[in-house]
Amino acid sequence: MQSALKPLHHSEDLIQQTAKWYTCHWYALYVRSRHEKFVCDALTKKSIETYLPLREITRNWSDRKKIIHEPLFSSYVFVNLAIKDRWDIINTKGVVRFVGPSAARPVEVCEEDLAAIKKFLHEKVQLDPFPYLKEGQRVYVKSGPFKGTEGFIVRKDEHCRLVLSLDVLMQSVSIQIDQSCIEML
């Protein structure tokens, strides 16, 4: 009787693994320095969904000021794909590797974190790269345009900052936020 159950259990595991193989998830790519936009364009031409968060910054030269768009996470691009399609990505010029222990086992990026970054960029708030934080007090934004976002709270120049950490990249971003909009988790 037990031997009849083991193959059934094994087949359920196989079905779950196969489903993951064909289900789209977000992954992070590490790309050559200053090749983020080039890689996004190349992958888009291959019909692969990409996301490259860009922040607006003003550069001052001696004769003028110019607004430029630079990657929020230098040398990283996000892709949404089924893991079975990863080799199409890795063979793209400018792509170095998937973020994770190996190309065969890239680490999924949390969709809620990407949604929070998209929300920050959509609201056109000042986004600053921030040192990666793993430890600290986690907070929840209870009101305002970022309601529902979770992150860490820190102080910078007498202002309260919400820090969102992307564990898979080991990088973070921060925004200025009113303390009355947050509550501790």
CATH number for the domain including 166?
Answer: 2.30.30.30
Q: pLDDT value at position 57?
A: 87
Is the domain of 105 the same as that of 28? Answer: yes
Distance of CA 72 to the CA centre of its chain: 10
Q: pLDDT value at position 125?
A: 83
Is the domain of 60 the same as that of 96? Answer: yes
Q: pLDDT value at position 3?
A: 47
Is the domain of 100 the same as that of 138? Answer: no
Q: pLDDT value at position 133?
A: 46
Is the domain of 91 the same as that of 139? Answer: no
CA nearest neighbour of 75 among 18, 41, 119, 34? 34
Tokens of 92: 């793209």
Q: pLDDT value at position 5?
A: 45
CA nearest neighbour of 140 among 172, 157, 116, 118? 116
Q: pLDDT value at position 61?
A: 83
Number of structural domains (the chain) is 2
Torsion of CA 85, 91, 97, 98, to 10 degrees: -10
Under 8 Å between Cβ of 28 and 76: yes
Instruction: Select from 92, 109, 126 the last residue of a domain.
Output: 109
Domain assignment of residue 176, given as a range: 110-185
Is the domain of 83 the same as that of 144? Answer: no
Tokens of 114: 């990407």
Under 8 Å between Cβ of 71 and 36: yes
Q: What is the pTM of this model?
A: 0.75
Is the domain of 101 the same as that of 147? Answer: no
Cα separation values, 133 from 50, 129, 138, 143, Å: 26, 12, 11, 23
Is the domain of 123 the same as that of 157? Answer: yes
Q: pLDDT value at position 156?
A: 60
pLDDT beneath 50: ranges in the chain: 1-6, 8, 133, 135
pLDDT in tens, 46-89: 999 999 999 988 888 888 899 899 999 999 999 999 988 888 89
Is the domain of 153 the same as that of 85? Answer: no
Q: pLDDT value at position 87?
A: 87
User: Could you give the CA distance from residue 153 to residue 44 in angstroms, rounded to a whole number?
Assistant: 36
Is the domain of 38 the same as that of 97? Answer: yes
Q: pLDDT value at position 119?
A: 93
Q: pLDDT value at position 182?
A: 80
